[in-house]
């Protein structure tokens, strides 16, 4: 299942630990399923950690200004640092992975859409600053998207291309680098508090939203990592024949 957010409402899921565990200011990865038709050039948020204005450690939007219909990643609240190279606003489900690597004054943001590398921007000088309010579908001053979201996850490491592909094929986030997983909210829409299944206790308090059908991944978790590897052919051993 999933959660539907609308910009005309006050839809938001406020996350616990916004000032601690979820205030990621270094290397990080975010993964989620997105379904939208938005063409907005204004700010609407998939997920973010922001205190006010430009004070933020990350913001992800489904569309913005020069990146209409493309997911963007912001290193702070001042504007997008990078955008994906392909649009994802066709009304179909798409899986997104955003990866931030680097260090102070020299960051790289990379995107994967449906398991395929979809743009990378290097040499980003804007630095993230510790936020204090973490939320899915908005910030402390609003900005809900017109979008359906599912399987939201955050890591404090950089995921690889293979891991991004695995997530897009239905591998659940708790099977990918579980010790670095800082939040995983499936957004099943069956409780007023969305549970964080990572063990980090960053549960989400739900305001508004509507329950919706979820993305098309398999109902049974595929094996990881063998699921992505080609099958190994059996080994045959020729035994000597005994002539009677």
Q: What SS3 class is residue 204?
A: strand
Look-up: residue for tokens 């990572």? 198
Task: Collect the ranges in the chain with pLDDT lower than 50.
Answer: none
pLDDT of residue 238: 56
DSSP states along 194-217: E--TTSS---EEEES-EEE-----
pLDDT of residue 13: 95
pLDDT of residue 60: 96
Nearest to 59 by CA among 81, 38, 37: 81
pLDDT of residue 132: 86
* Domain chopping of the chain, boundaries: 2-228
- What whole-number percentage of the chain has pLDDT above 90? 73
Q: What is the pLDDT of residues 21-56, one digit of tens each?
A: 999 999 999 999 999 999 998 889 999 998 877 789
pLDDT of residue 235: 55
Question: Do 15 and 183 form a contact (C-beta atoms < 8 A)?
Answer: yes
Class of CATH domain 2-228: mainly beta
Look-up: residue for tokens 């616990």? 16
């Amino acid at each position: 299942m999933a959660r539907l957010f609308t910009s005309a409402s006050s839809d938001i899921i406020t996350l616990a630990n916004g000032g601690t565990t979820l205030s990621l200011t270094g290397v990080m990865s975010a993964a989620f399923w997105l379904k939208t038709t938005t063409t907005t050039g204004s700010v609407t948020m998939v997920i973010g950690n922001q205190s006010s204005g430009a004070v933020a450690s990350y913001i992800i939007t489904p569309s913005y200004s020069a990146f209409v219909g493309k997911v963007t990643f912001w290193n702070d609240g001042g504007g997008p640092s990078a955008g994906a190279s392909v649009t994802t606003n066709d009304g179909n489900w798409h899986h997104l992975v955003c990866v931030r690597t680097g260090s102070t004054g020299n960051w790289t943001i990379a995107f994967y859409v449906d398991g395929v590398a979809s743009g990378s921007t290097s040499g980003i000088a804007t630095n993230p600053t510790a936020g204090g309010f973490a939320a899915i579908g908005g910030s402390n001053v609003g900005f809900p998207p017109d979008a359906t979201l599912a399987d939201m996850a955050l890591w404090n490491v950089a995921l690889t291309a293979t891991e991004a592909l695995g997530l897009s094929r239905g591998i659940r986030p708790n099977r990918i680098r579980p010790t670095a997983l800082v939040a995983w909210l499936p957004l099943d829409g069956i409780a007023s508090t969305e549970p964080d299944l990572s063990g980090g206790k960053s549960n989400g308090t739900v305001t508004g939203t509507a329950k919706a059908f979820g993305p098309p991944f398999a109902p049974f978790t595929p094996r990881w990592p063998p699921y992505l590897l080609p099958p190994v052919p059996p080994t045959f051993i020729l035994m000597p024949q005994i002539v009677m």
